[in-house]
Structure 1
Amino acid sequence: MTPHWPLHGLSLCTPELELRPVTEADLPGLAVQLSVDLEVDPTATRYDGLSDADNRALALHQGYWRSVGTWRPESWALPFAVRHGDDVVGSQTLEGEDFPRLRTVDSASWLAPEARGRGWGVQARAAILALAFGPLGATAAVTSAWHDNGASLGVSRSLGYQPNGVTTHWRGDRPDEMVHLRLTREQWRDSPWRDRVEVRGFEPCRPFFGL
């Protein structure tokens, strides 16, 4: 951890996982875990002459550099590397737009194929919710997934998220439905996960969130 970027000293611990903010050293290991079914940010640059796998890896790298280089208390994205023991098994991102005023967070995540089906998606999401509703003082968390992404929607619903509308977006070569869900601070208080996550190293990070 550098004293000028204390976010790298954050740690979120669940019964089986530890989440720590992604560092540049994590990027190669995360890149090899990317699966072909992961939808890359549609605004990411695609480089002609490179393979699909290489373009995915570059999108991961550039997304990380963008999150660090454009960080402001009013607009931020904090990607975590999800670890099970010594193995990096995926990534979980917490995002805040106009956070000091709106106190609302969003999230995105992915797990390597071999890490799925073990309940780790729930634990990783619970970890960032504990950070959001705990020291960050968020009042609501929102999330979105395509209507046929049963795994993501299942994680959200198991943690108490409630329906928050459906919108239509362009997906590949056709329009499709995006499902939105929302979890309030009050609903999180009833979650059994509330007391199963330990947040470490937050205090030096307060100014970075406008707190």
Structure 2
Amino acid sequence: MGASAWPLHGIRLRTADLDLRVMTEADLPELWELLPDDVEMNPHATTYAGLDVPANRRAVLAQGYWRALGLWSPDDWALPFVVRRDGEVVGAQWLEGPDWRADHAVDSSSWLVPAARGRGLGKQMRAAVLALAFGPLRAEVAVSSAVLGNAGSLGVSRSLGYLDTHRSVLEHSGETLQHVRLTRAAWARAGGADLAGGTVVDGVAPALPLFGIEGAS
């Protein structure tokens, strides 16, 4: 299915080092091979007694992709990107609008292969989707969260201007989750274009109706 038939697949984000394109089914086998063991999957996803742990993790990844695009609506959407550096897949970045037309707020999550960590790529990935969210999608707020021990994720958030809001406890693990928040106004005051490192956002205009947005970006 081409981008003209399903315009979400025409969205592309480019940073100084990375190329982010909306995930396709053809990307799944490579993502399965690269998915790090320390990436926490959706704890509420279905697991299958007849599959081992790696196979169940592959199932969660695949079903998450199918669910995201298959159940898409302007009120509740999830946009998964495959992240490449020099043509090689290094991770995945998600941007979500779970109550989009009510609050115009986005959430995000991501993972990188171990060899790509500690190089500032996580910040570039997040900044790229923020450029999309606060740019053509006209989001008002971006939120995120991470367990207190995940210094990398929280460091990315704080470096981009997110502020700590509240904490909660994960039911399935008992770990403490730190929630953070960034407003559109704060992003602009901090010089969002500079924080995004000159991110180039392409192919969004044909997809805007799927976000409930009329008119060109």
Pairwise TM-score range, normalised by the shorter structure: over 0.9
Q: CA–CA distance in 1 between the matches of 2:186 and 2:124?
A: 17
Q: CA–CA distance in 1 between the matches of 2:203 and 2:39?
A: 31
Deviation at 1:116, TM superposition (A): 0.6
> Counterparts of 1:2-151 in structure 2 under 5 Å?
2-151=3-152
CA contact (8 A) 1:17 1:84 kept: yes
CA contact (8 A) 1:89 1:111 kept: yes
Aligned to 1:210: 212
Structure 1 stretch displaced more, 2-11 or 67-76: 2-11
- Secondary structure at the residue paired with 1:32? helix
CA contact (8 A) 2:4 2:10 kept: no
- Secondary structure at the residue paired with 1:7? helix
- Secondary structure at the residue paired with 2:195? coil
Q: CA–CA distance in 1 between the matches of 2:99 and 2:158?
A: 25
Q: CA–CA distance in 2 between the matches of 1:97 and 1:46?
A: 23
CA contact (8 A) 2:73 2:210 kept: yes
Q: CA–CA distance in 1 between the matches of 2:183 and 2:63?
A: 32
CA contact (8 A) 1:77 1:94 kept: yes
CA contact (8 A) 1:12 1:127 kept: yes
Q: CA–CA distance in 2 between the matches of 1:188 and 1:117?
A: 24
Deviation at 1:52, TM superposition (A): 1.4
The answer to whether residue 192 in structure 2 is matched with residue 187 in structure 1 is no
The answer to whether residue 198 in structure 2 is matched with residue 196 in structure 1 is yes
Q: CA–CA distance in 2 between the matches of 1:2 and 1:198?
A: 18
Q: CA–CA distance in 1 between the matches of 2:157 and 2:3?
A: 34
Q: Unpaired runs of 5+ in structure 1?
A: none
Deviation at 1:21, TM superposition (A): 0.4
Q: CA–CA distance in 1 between the matches of 2:83 and 2:197?
A: 19
Structure 1 stretch displaced more, 14-23 or 183-192: 183-192
The answer to whether residue 166 in structure 2 is matched with residue 165 in structure 1 is yes
**Normalised TM-score (structure 2):** 0.93
CA contact (8 A) 1:97 1:105 kept: yes
- Secondary structure at the residue paired with 1:131? helix
Aligned to 1:152: 153
CA contact (8 A) 1:160 1:183 kept: yes
Residues paired across the two proteins, number: 209
- Secondary structure at the residue paired with 2:175? strand
**Normalised TM-score (structure 1):** 0.96
1:156-204 deviations in whole A, cap 9, x for unaligned?
A: 11111001111122243xx221100001112212242245111000100
Alpha-carbon RMSD: 1.1
1:118-176 deviations in whole A, cap 9, x for unaligned?
A: 1100000000000000000001100011111111111111111001111122243xx22
Q: CA–CA distance in 2 between the matches of 1:195 and 1:35?
A: 27
Q: CA–CA distance in 1 between the matches of 2:60 and 2:140?
A: 31
Q: CA–CA distance in 1 between the matches of 2:28 and 2:118?
A: 24
Q: CA–CA distance in 1 between the matches of 2:40 and 2:30?
A: 18
